[in-house]
Structure 1
Amino acid sequence: MTDLFIYMFICSFTPGPGNILALRTVCVYGFKNSFRLILGICMGYAIVQAICTIALYELNSYFESFINIIKYIGFAYMLFLSLNILYCSSVDSGSGKKPALLIGLVLQLVNIKIYFYIITLISVYFLPGSDGVSDLIYWGCVAVFVGSVACLCWSLFGVSMRNVYNNHCRFINLILALMLFYCAVSMLLG
């Protein structure tokens, strides 16, 4: 269970398209003017979570071996993420678009990081211990909550987090990459 929460924390709180856009937008427009964009990011996350949960639940009903394949793809994706985190530089400044709910929503719907993250969560952590749809809905809500809290944290602490991240980028990336590597190994051995 520890590796589940570490994986959720790292994937939700590390710089990704949604978090970076939220950070940049709040830095430029302030929290109040950026709220619709942030809401769009959170809504998009919830929609992707629902799509992936339904699809994988149905696939699991018919193709249980498919989930094992997804487990190894998830392992490879975690290793890929840990290497990308380790070698990435400071936060990108963003694209300069005005804040809007639709921009945040669409960003999440095309954000492949979220799909891989959610597919890995469901196939590795949620489906194996699930007693049915109600368990998947519960854990899906937990994942959406964690992702939304991460987006809000990046938004509320945007300027200071950006300064800290830029000043200590290498060290923070090393810690996050090692933690994600631990999750990948735990998943493979577990």
Structure 2
Amino acid sequence: MDFHCPDKSADTNHNGYVSTEEGLPMYGDIFISLTTTGDTTKASGLAVDRMPAADARGELTYERTIPAAELPAGNIAHLHDLHIVQHGIDANRNGKYDLDALSESTFAKSLGVPNIPEEATDPATCGMVSGAAAGSVPAGGVNTGDGSTLGGGPVSAPVIYSVGGAALAGVLGVALVRRRRA
């Protein structure tokens, strides 16, 4: 598959945000939902109540171990082909995802999940997972880019990703995702 992180050219309606519908052709479908508890399959992709959220300073720390047996087939062997898309933007800067800024998520609504704010589903950052050779599992951290979905120019919010790699024993450890906004 030739999926990658979208840049600002994906914003086809020119509203200043790359929506999930606009980015999906570039970054593809969900393989793993990085929820804080419970299911991590594609079915939890819209479980916004179980997704990590940044604190008042814009910082986010995520740590969770997902056993390899719970991952979709081929994910570990193709770790170098994967990327992380972090969803959620506070477009009206009021400290919460609400329907006031960008209205209801048309993506969530199209899947039969109403009343999810567009702010909760729009991609905020995207980073390619690197540092793994084909067919191997990296030891230690896996580097991701500074992957803004804005692309092109400077990123308004410095983004630091540090995602823990899969252990050779067969466990994918997602150790830390940290995002700061100015």
TM-score by length of 2: 0.26
Whose relative contact order is higher, 1 or 2, with alpha carbons under 8 Å and at least 6 apart?
1
Report which of the two has the higher share of helix.
Answer: 1
Report which of the two has the higher share of strand.
Answer: 2
TM-score by length of 1: 0.26
Larger radius of gyration, structure 1 or 2? 1
